[in-house]
Amino acid sequence: MTTTRTLRGLAHDDPSVRLRTALAVGTDPEPSDVGTLVDRCAVEPDFSVREMLTWALTRHTPAATVPALVDEVRSDRAQARSQALHTLSKIGDRRAWPAITPALLSDPDDEVARSAWRAAVVLVPEGEEPALAVGLATQLGRGPRETRLSLSRALIALGEAMLPALGTAAAHPDPEVRAHALATEVLWRDPEAGFEFAVEEAKRVVALGGEGQGGR
């Protein structure tokens, strides 16, 4: 049984203590610990500790964790939303799907949006992939390289269901959107190409006034 004293270790100044505490809580999961773990995810500054907190939450039953995490994706704190979405993607319980709203897919915080994209492709119910692709495609052209790569990977994870949305985006008036759509298509057709090559190839096509083959 996890004691109050043990849980206090999650707030210790030393990240190694917090890491060991999260490991201990996950090793011997108790439903009463879920709220404390979720709350700590929202404020934990250390990446490794956050990953251990997520692992500890996955050790609990979805019945105990999913409702708390769904509530957390509505938080005003960006890290709380991002970490809750990340954890939901690791749990993979599709009952959380209704929590993946268009607002989250277009969250102004890049880390939250990236977590939402990853969670969405894990949780999307069968048959709803094309609609999700349309929602994801609205974010093409957004952010720096890592953000764009995350979105490309999410779209590619949907397989052929994303091609119509990608084809539409490849004709978008914004050249950044067109280039990102075409780069995603290059990666989908040739996963070994690498994102940098795909981007350069897409820019070349856009500069020449061409379009990719998405949706065809």
Extents of the domains making up the chain: 1-123, 129-216
Supply the CATH classification number for the domain 1-123.
Answer: 1.25.10.10
Q: Would the pLDDT of 2 be above 80?
A: no
Provide DSSP, 99-157: G--HHHHT-SSHHHHHHHHHHHHHHPPTT-HHHHHHHHHTTTT-SSHHHHHHHHHHHHH
Measured in residues, the chain has a length of 216
| C-alpha–C-alpha distance, residues 180 and 160, integer Å | 17
pTM score, two decimals?
0.87
Per-residue model confidence as pLDDT tens digits over 135-191: 999 999 999 999 999 999 999 999 999 999 999 999 999 999 999 999 898 888 887
Yes or no: say if 171 and 211 are a contact pair by the CB < 8 Å rule.
Answer: yes
Query: What pLDDT score does 7 carry?
Result: 78
* 13-18 average pLDDT score: 96
CA neighbor of 48 nearest in space, from 27, 73, 20, 28: 20
Element (H or E) spanning 34, and its range?
helix 34-41
Q: Is 215 helix (H, G, I), strand (E, B) or coil?
A: coil
Q: Would the pLDDT of 215 be above 90?
A: no
Whole-angstrom CA distances from 139 to 56, 105, 134, 155 are: 32, 8, 9, 11
